[in-house]
Structure 1
């Protein structure tokens, strides 16, 4: 097991009073301590970041970790629901190979070291904080890569705030090209119940990962399980982009759809993704919704190839 790495949580939101203000928060102090412990353990499994920043936006402060110091347009990673920077443990080595600078983000209003301060009431608000974060990092241009809801968020930035976006890569993005499937809804609703036994919670989350026996065997799985149990998000459910919104996307898009995904019907998602002008869409038959952890090297190679064609 890796050693824990001491983490600073700036102004963590704890307790039910934040919910009345529509701010995402940990349920109570015990919930925060549980999450903080597994977050520190998970960060200890990552390479040491070259820089850690806490970036102010109109909606709160965003924790960002920089890996690498390469030239060129950087890559910014957006994690899925209930997750944060350590989700990318298996991906960072491949994505930084060749010298590209990579920024990993703890999502605003999600469990992690970012701290929401104002309600996020729409997809436009979600896109706004990402754009303001990029401005705070002094990045005039960036490639976005998101998995699951992080993919949805990356697409929303391309729709609402595209000025700084060089390209978008989405890994089995949830509720982006096709509606959520019933299994995903069961996992999403069931895994947030506070009193649910951990084994059952892990079994539900295992559906996402193609039916692995126990996500608790992996630090990323324990992190997501804690995030879903111990933290309550307070923004609206992500809305499926409209046909006109998808057709209006003007940046290059690479969509990698998992053939064994429970998030949606993969073929329907791929078909609708192909309506994005100039988009590149691939269905990976053997991948589950946990595609980033299953195929880190293949993803790194495909992303490098894609980014090489768009700058």
Structure 2
């Protein structure tokens, strides 16, 4: 359980408004769950902590080759292991970087408060600048989708395309159901069995009660980590329409995060170069439910972008 960067642990970080583990025991529990979940992933070709103006960001590189890489941004409290169903398939086709979001549970370590959407874009722009690539493709799920698109709004220069898997608070506003999950799951000392039921609910009824490494990790992050992140800003119509990059948006028809049909309609109406698809059978856990289909769709999209023929003209 070696750390390249010292994690934030203890109440002193609360006063500084920085994400932190509640106490040493909380960190130990979380790190054991993290390492166990990471063991199910392909072995990273590289692991390092990238310095940004807001802290250090844990980055893993998978796969080989020198093509335009994919950068993966996970959902809330999930960190890199949430891509366990997708990584091998994606990395077989092009280089992949997976990040732990700054200020969230994971091995990234926050050193300055994040107070705005511009700050959220700032740390990610710093990471991309230090990866050594002129352009990258972004792939984000849930809040990771919001994070990817937020960067496209504020600092699009290094982005080749953006692929979004049921992004949160982007094309549709957060629903009361999602608020219930958020409030219930993050309350300290919330019964573990109830937390697992909430995870299952947000995942379309999936069983999250067993000994599943990713579910264990997400639950540990909810229980053992305190975040101080700004509420994700809902982008205006002008901000969405102003993103001129190729955007693939896969909206889960059974999502409780937003109204899926309204979200798809807004995306289709506003994205200038968007391919928008509503997947009726998918829940918010779309990447784990349909990993092969998601991988194939994303890879076809980024391949088309690299070839100069991004398929935004497909039926939407």
TM over 0.5: yes
Q: Is the 8 A contact 1:7 1:40 kept in 2?
A: no
Give the deviation of 1:9 after TM superposition: 5.4
Please say if residues 64 and 91 of structure 2, whose CA atoms lie closer than 8 Å, have aligned partners that are also in contact. Answer: no
- Structure 2 distance, partners of 1:239, 1:216, is 35
Looking at structure 2, the residues matched to 233 and 295 of structure 1 have their Cα atoms a distance apart, in angstroms, of: 30
- 2:101·2:108 contact (CA, 8 Å) conserved in 1? yes
Match of 2:19 in 1: 24
CA contact (8 A) 1:61 1:115 kept: yes
For 1:163, what is the secondary structure of its paired residue? coil
Q: Measure how far apart 1:121 and its partner are.
A: 0.7
- 2:271 equivalent in structure 1: 276
Show structure 1 runs of 5+ residues with no match: 1-5
**CA displacement 1:255-293 (0-9 Å, x = unmatched):** 000000000000011011111111110000110000010
Q: Which runs of 5 or more structure 2 residues have no equivalent in the other structure? A: 307-316
Q: CA offset at residue 233 of structure 1?
A: 1.0
Give the alignment partner of residue 178 of structure 1, picking from 146, 164, 172.
Answer: 172
Moved more, 175-184 or 7-16: 7-16
Provide the C-alpha distance between the structure 2 equivalents of 1:273 and 1:222, rounded to a whole number of angstroms: 33
Q: What pairs with 1:131-170 in structure 2 (closer than 5 Å)? A: 131-170=125-164
TM-score with structure 1 setting the length: 0.96
Corresponding position: 1:214 with 2:179: no
Pairing 1:191–2:185 present: yes
1:291 aligns with 2:286: yes
Alignment of 1:36-185 (within 5 A): 36-98=31-93, 100-185=94-179
The alignment partner of 2:107 has SS state of coil
Which residue in the other structure is 1:301 paired with?
A: 296
**Partner of residue 15 from structure 1, selected from 10, 17, 24:** 10
Runs of 4+, deviation exceeding 4 Å: none
Deviations 1:84-130 (A, max 9, x none): 111100100111122x0000001111111110000111111111111
Q: Are 2:239 and 1:239 aligned?
A: no
RMSD: 1.0
229-238 or 283-292, which deviates more: 229-238
Output one character per residue of 1:205-241: Cα deviation in whole Å (capped at 9) or x when no partner.
1111111233443211111111111111101111111
Give me the whole-angstrom Cα distance separating, in 1, the residues matched to 2:148 and 2:8: 25
Q: How far apart are the structure 2 equivalents of 1:207 and 1:114?
A: 28
Contact 2:71/2:139, CA 8 A, preserved across alignment = yes
Residue range with higher mean Cα deviation, 222-231 or 257-266: 222-231
Does the aligned pair in 2 maintain the 1:55–1:133 contact within 8 Å? yes
* Cα separation, 2, equivalents of 1:146 and 1:278: 18
Give secondary structure in 1 for the equivalent of 2:231.
coil
Q: Residue in 1 aligned with 2:194? A: 200
Q: TM-score, normalised by structure 2?
A: 0.94
CA contact (8 A) 1:127 1:153 kept: yes
User: How many Å separate the matches in 2 of 1:307 and 1:252?
Assistant: 9
